[in-house]
Amino acid sequence: MSVRLHIDNKLMKQFEKAIKEVSKIKVVLGVMDKDVAEYASFVEYGWAQRVTQRQHNFFFNQGIDLKVNSLLINPPRPFFRDTINKYLGLWCKVGIYNYKAEVKSDPLNIGNASFKYLESIGRLGKNGLQATIGSGGVEFGYPQRSNLTITIMSTFRHGKPIGGGTKPLEDTGRLFNSINFEMATENK
């Protein structure tokens, strides 16, 4: 038994147009709030710096004695890289499964199916990154906050006392809430 499918020129042109349009779309996943993005890069890669005299004086006035030239280290907590490295393959497999189901149900609407495929990867990525932040790491967790950090956080932030738990990445929720994705058009 065989089936013959006839696709006329007009339908083929529509199909080609849909493929061209969808090939220009990309998923942008990340920290969308620019104010939070800089903080996120410090969290992701960590940082180290020596205490200056000015910093020493400021903290000393807050009751925290940091020695001039002592080294402050914030260890890397690569929430973004770890999550992408571990789960991107899975997200793509889930997306392809959904894509195939969409194309099977409506073979001529490949553009919409492709868009939904990319959108599903963005949604899975957002949820995955937020889950990593919420769980404190992909596998073994990230280093807990140091006693110094907890002391500083419990003393002040922007001139006001704040709480300071031991779990990194969860203080205000701004990083968590800044994780999102968007569909963007690539200029080719």
Percent of the chain, pLDDT > 90?
Answer: 37
What are the backbone angles phi and psi of residue 67, rounded to the nearest 5°?
Answer: -75, 140
Instruction: Give the pLDDT of residue 134.
Output: 85
The two structure tokens encoding residue 82: 């770890």
What are the backbone angles phi and psi of residue 28, rounded to the nearest 5°?
Answer: -110, 115
The DSSP call for residue 8 is: -
Burial 20-46 (b: 16+ CB within 10 A, else e): eebeeeebebebeeeebeeebeebeee
- Asked whether residue 170 is assigned to any structural domain, the reply reads yes
CA distances from 91 to 11, 33, 86, 162 (A): 32, 24, 10, 37
- Asked whether residue 87 is assigned to any structural domain, the reply reads yes
Instruction: Give the pLDDT of residue 71.
Output: 94
Q: What is the DSSP track for 55-94?
A: HHHHHHHTT--PPTTPEEEE----HHHHHHHHHHHHHHHH
The count of structural domains within the chain is 1
- Asked whether residue 55 is assigned to any structural domain, the reply reads no
Domain that holds residue 146: 11-33+78-185
- Does position 159 have pLDDT exceeding 70, yes or no? no
Residue-wise pLDDT for 43-85, tens only, equals: 899 999 999 999 999 889 888 899 999 999 989 999 999 999 9
- Asked whether residue 54 is assigned to any structural domain, the reply reads no
Q: Give pTM, 2 decimals.
A: 0.76
- Asked whether residue 23 is assigned to any structural domain, the reply reads yes
* Range scoring the smallest mean pLDDT among 22-26, 94-98, 108-112: 108-112
- Asked whether residue 27 is assigned to any structural domain, the reply reads yes
Instruction: Give the pLDDT of residue 99.
Output: 80
Measured distance CA(81)–CA(44) in Å, rounded? 8
- Asked whether residue 169 is assigned to any structural domain, the reply reads yes
Decide: 59 and 65 in contact? Cβ < 8 Å. yes
- Asked whether residue 93 is assigned to any structural domain, the reply reads yes
